[in-house]
Structure 1
Amino acid sequence: MKPASFGYVRADSLDEALGVLGNEGAEARVLAGGQSFMAMLNMRLARPRVIIDIMRVPALAELAQRKDELVVGAGVRQARLLAMPGLERTLPLVAQALPFTGHVQTRSRGTVCGSIAHADPSAELPLCLVALKGHVHLRAAKSRRKVAAAEFFTGMMATAKADDEMIEAVSFPVANGEGTAFREIARRHGDFAIVACAALVSDHGIRLAVGGVADTAVARDWPHLEGTALDDALNAFAYELDARDDVHASARYRRELVRRIGRSTIEEAARCRA
């Protein structure tokens, strides 16, 4: 299929992009990597009047550590983040998850913030942002705000971003001695996850985030649990996610994956911490 007709603006500055977005509102869409958005255009699931290309805006290319967080600008491609020196020390969970994000070809074009904006519940980067309690930095022509990941994702491919806002950057808290692990089950490597789990184990306890089951990635915090206590917590979490049958897997299978993969991911994170 071919997309419906649209206007195209190649923004050279952030002010230009925000100006067009402010004027067009819901009729405009921001284009970064385009790995998901172009498919939606071709299937006419998205029919914007204007597309704003932001990939030549220098202000959106930032990839830098600020104090205790890593800030990733809207123009940073996934491959660039994965190749960042020291990523396995700064953001070990993201370093573990990024190789599962699509394929080499898509990571070379797709952006980190684009995946966050797309808000697919099976995607790895939104899951990591929720697991790490990261933030989304939103910008409009006359305002800016910082939204916690758990509040940004409001439903399946739905977010708290207003029509006149764009994601300027996302920020991930840097590692602080906790053990981390990431695992997912998919039909093929690079496919969207049937179930994905991201775990952090620290002095304060256990944090497990699960994607691919509910309409958004969901995280739970527990004290240090072992044996049947951990099994009971995982079982309750699996049912709280309200899994549904679909063409990829049954709800029962997804719940079992949450229990099994969740436990093995937590155990791996605990070993990494040790």
Structure 2
Amino acid sequence: MIPATFEYHPASSVDEAIALLSQYGDDAKLLAGGHSLIPTMKLRLAQPAHLIDIGRIPGLSYIREEGNVVAVGALTTYATIERSEVLRRYFAVLPECASVIGDPQVRNRGTIGGSISHADPSADMPGAVRALKAEIRVRGPNGERTVAADDFFLGTFTTALEPGEMVTEIRFPLPPARTGSAYTKLANKASHYAVAGCAAVVTLGADGACTAASVVITGAGTMPTRASAVEAALMGKQLDEATVAEAASHAAEGLELMEDIHGSKQYRAQMAAVMARRAILKAAERARG
């Protein structure tokens, strides 16, 4: 498996990367960690004439608290996210999600910005980012803008990024008290991609009832999809086994289900419900402290 011929451009700054993207247009691809793009290039599913390496740009790998948000640089690796005490304190779903991506080699090179920009429907991180209702900062030839995670993912390998734009930062709003989050998935045994997965975030009131819920299904559909029916079924309820199981049974509603050698639409719908139940129960347990 050998990629088609391409020209390699190491960028030393965000501005240089954007200039190169503007210069080469649709013939160019950004390379961050490379664990999504390089395999597709080897299979010649992607054949960019120009590869712009942003992996050496300084100042894009960090995790830091800034007021009421935690900011994560686009080049922050999964391994760094997995080890972060700050993220573990506020958003257990992120280290948990990172810990089940690929293998140690992938986690040490793959980046959060690369994952959400690639928008593979079976990837793990896009679902967690959307469940946490993050804000995604992007920069391009027309300057910087912020896109809500709910508006960022548009379809299979498709995002709201405009030509010449790149992700620079993901910002996670700090959760209210008594909030828990979790990620569970049924993994493909070879690739470790999600056949069906769920990222869940729940907030409990003083009486233990659910006051907020954010549930996103990944792997089963053509993009990370908010399970609105599940969220509605949780609101105002005590999150016991029976209530959560009933709510999770709606996990496949609204999904444009995928079907392939790893599972039929019916199988993925059922597994989405199973993963949703497990993730919600774990998130609720964490919310109770």
The reply to whether TM is greater than 0.5 is yes
Q: Distance in 2 between matches of 1:190 and 1:4?
A: 23
Q: Distance in 2 between matches of 1:90 and 1:231?
A: 26
81-90 vs 206-215, greater mean Cα deviation = 81-90
Q: Specify whether residues 85 and 262 from structure 1 end up closer, same or farther in structure 2 by C-alpha distance, changes over 3 A only.
A: closer
Q: Distance in 2 between matches of 1:6 and 1:54?
A: 16
Percent identity at matched positions?
32
Structure 2 counterpart of 1:93, which letter? V
Aligned partner of 1:243 in structure 2 is: 257
- DSSP-derived class of the 1:265 partner: helix
Q: Is 1:124 the equivalent of 2:124?
A: yes
Aligned partner of 2:34 in structure 1 is: 34
Aligned partner of 2:266 in structure 1 is: 252
Q: Distance in 1 between matches of 2:168 and 2:41?
A: 22
Aligned partner of 2:276 in structure 1 is: 262
- DSSP-derived class of the 2:164 partner: coil
Aligned partner of 1:170 in structure 2 is: 170
Structure 1 counterpart of 2:225, which letter? V
* Cα distance per residue 1:45-90 (max 9 Å; x no partner): 1122211111221132333222222222222221122222333103
Structure 2 counterpart of 1:100, which letter? V
Q: Which runs of 5+ in 2 are unaligned?
A: 205-210
Aligned partner of 1:273 in structure 2 is: 287
Q: Specify whether residues 97 and 10 from structure 1 end up closer, same or farther in structure 2 by C-alpha distance, changes over 3 A only.
A: same
- DSSP-derived class of the 2:70 partner: strand
- Note if contact 2:222-2:256 (Cα within 8 Å) is conserved in structure 1: no
- Note if contact 2:79-2:107 (Cα within 8 Å) is conserved in structure 1: yes
- DSSP-derived class of the 2:198 partner: strand
Aligned partner of 2:196 in structure 1 is: 195
Counterparts of residues 75-86 of structure 1 (less than 5 Å): 75-86=75-86
Counterparts of residues 129-148 of structure 1 (less than 5 Å): 129-148=129-148
Aligned partner of 1:160 in structure 2 is: 160
* Cα distance per residue 1:152-208 (max 9 Å; x no partner): 111011111112111112222234330112211123386111111111121323322
Q: Is 1:209 the equivalent of 2:194?
A: no
- Note if contact 2:78-2:99 (Cα within 8 Å) is conserved in structure 1: no
RMSD, aligned α-carbons: 2.0
Q: Distance in 1 between matches of 2:74 and 2:212?
A: 32
Aligned partner of 1:107 in structure 2 is: 107
Structure 2 counterpart of 1:195, which letter? A
Structure 1 counterpart of 2:99, which letter? P
- Note if contact 2:251-2:276 (Cα within 8 Å) is conserved in structure 1: no
Aligned partner of 1:93 in structure 2 is: 93
State the TM-score, normalizing by the size of structure 2: 0.87
TM-superposed CA distance for 1:228, in Å, is: 6.4
Q: Is 1:74 the equivalent of 2:74?
A: yes
State the TM-score, normalizing by the size of structure 1: 0.92
Aligned partner of 1:180 in structure 2 is: 181
- Note if contact 1:103-1:190 (Cα within 8 Å) is conserved in structure 2: no
- Note if contact 1:197-1:265 (Cα within 8 Å) is conserved in structure 2: yes
* Cα distance per residue 1:245-268 (max 9 Å; x no partner): 321012222222222332232122
Structure 2 counterpart of 1:130, which letter? R
Q: Distance in 2 between matches of 1:242 and 1:142?
A: 34
- DSSP-derived class of the 2:171 partner: strand
* Cα distance per residue 1:67-117 (max 9 Å; x no partner): 222222222221122222333103211022111111111111111111111
- Note if contact 1:100-1:190 (Cα within 8 Å) is conserved in structure 2: no
Structure 2 counterpart of 1:234, which letter? A
TM-superposed CA distance for 1:142, in Å, is: 3.1
